[in-house]
Amino acid sequence: MNGLDLLTAITVFALSVLVGIEVISKVPATLHTPLMSGSNSVHGIVVIGAMLIAAESHTWLGYALAFVAMVFGGMNVVGGYAVTDRMLEMFRARPSGTPKSPKAEV
């Protein structure tokens, strides 16, 4: 990678961080969980990208970075689905006579 490619990559990364911060800061608190639970599943693309990096890498650093990317991407995918499932659980019908929360039993 020559100097111009590196500068372009750093510029794109810095601009994406700034745009991401700006977009996320505008999300109201009531929409944060549904939005994030859905968008976390998009991190499957990160896992695929990490697999491509691992396939093309020939150094231990490349393998280590790909492994870390796969672990973090996988955790984000699983976490996104777990949050979505937990959120949808609130909207499922309860059997009659079942309290709404564990605190109601006391």
The answer on pLDDT for 14 being more than 80 is: yes
User: How confident is residue 86, by pLDDT bands cut at 50, 70 and 90?
Assistant: confident
The answer on pLDDT for 96 being more than 80 is: no
Average pLDDT over residues 65-74: 90
SS3 67: helix
Mean pLDDT lowest for which of 12-16, 32-36, 80-84?
Answer: 32-36
The DSSP symbol for 99 reads: -
**Stated pTM of the model:** 0.57
DSSP assignment of 2-57, as one string?
-HHHHHHHHHHHHHHHHHHHHHHHTS-HHHHHHHHHHHHGGGHHHHHHHHHHHHH-
The C-alpha atoms of residue 98 and residue 104 are separated, in whole angstroms, by 10
The answer on pLDDT for 11 being more than 60 is: yes
The C-alpha atoms of residue 57 and residue 41 are separated, in whole angstroms, by 26
**Kindly report the CA angle at 44 between 86 and 25, in degrees rounded to 5?**
65
User: How confident is residue 67, by pLDDT bands cut at 50, 70 and 90?
Assistant: very high
Q: Give first-to-last CA distance, the chain, whole Å.
A: 64
Q: What average pLDDT is seen over the chain?
A: 80
